[in-house]
């Protein structure tokens, strides 16, 4: 799976319990605070709460220009665990990450 597809899949499967707010880090070195996003085949449109220095309130950015997404709301691990993420380290009672049965059918977001 390529870089753009990973970001598109993550955004398309954003958990309902997780507010669509955060900071999108671009390959241009820009950090864009957003309060909502909409998806298209090759780009995501993020909406800012306040316009940027030139008046832009919405940003259309190709998925392959996304470097990271920072989640700014305090959220519980349950949101991510229910989306397919696995606990790191040696969690009590958790199967080892190398165990194929622990990973089968569990694609993160």
Burial of 4 (0-12, 13-18, 19+ CB in 10 A): middle
pLDDT tens-place string over residues 54-70:
999 999 999 999 999 99
What's the domain range around 5?
A: 1-73
With respect to residue 109, please indicate whether it lies within any of the assigned structural domains. no
The single residue listed with the structure tokens 């309130």 is 57
Give pTM, 2 decimals.
0.76
pLDDT tens-place string over residues 37-49:
999 999 999 999 9
Whether 14 and 54 map to the same domain: the answer is: yes
Whether 25 and 67 map to the same domain: the answer is: yes
Judged by DSSP in three states, 68 sits in strand
Task: Quote the CA–CA distance of 107 and 90 in Å, as a whole number.
Answer: 20
Whether 50 and 87 map to the same domain: the answer is: no
Task: Quote the CA–CA distance of 55 and 58 in Å, as a whole number.
Answer: 9
Whether 32 and 82 map to the same domain: the answer is: no
Q: How far apart are the first and last CA of the chain?
A: 14
Whether 66 and 83 map to the same domain: the answer is: no
Whether 50 and 83 map to the same domain: the answer is: no
Q: What mean pLDDT value characterizes the chain?
A: 87
Q: How many domains does the chain have?
A: 2
Whether 45 and 98 map to the same domain: the answer is: no
Q: What is the CA radius of gyration of the chain?
A: 16
Average pLDDT over residues 85-105: 62
Tokens standing for 1?
């799976």
């Amino acid at each position: 799976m390529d870089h753009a597809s990973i970001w598109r899949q993550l955004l398309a499967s954003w958990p309902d319990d997780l507010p669509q707010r955060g900071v999108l880090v671009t390959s241009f070195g820009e950090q864009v605070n957003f309060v909502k996003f909409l998806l298209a085949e090759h780009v995501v449109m993020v909406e800012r709460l306040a316009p940027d220095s030139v008046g832009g309130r919405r940003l259309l950015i190709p998925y392959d220009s996304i470097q990271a997404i920072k989640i700014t709301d305090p959220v519980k691990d349950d949101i991510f665990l229910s989306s397919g993420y696995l606990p790191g380290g040696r969690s009590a009672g958790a199967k080892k990450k190398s165990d194929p049965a622990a990973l089968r059918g569990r694609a993160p977001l």
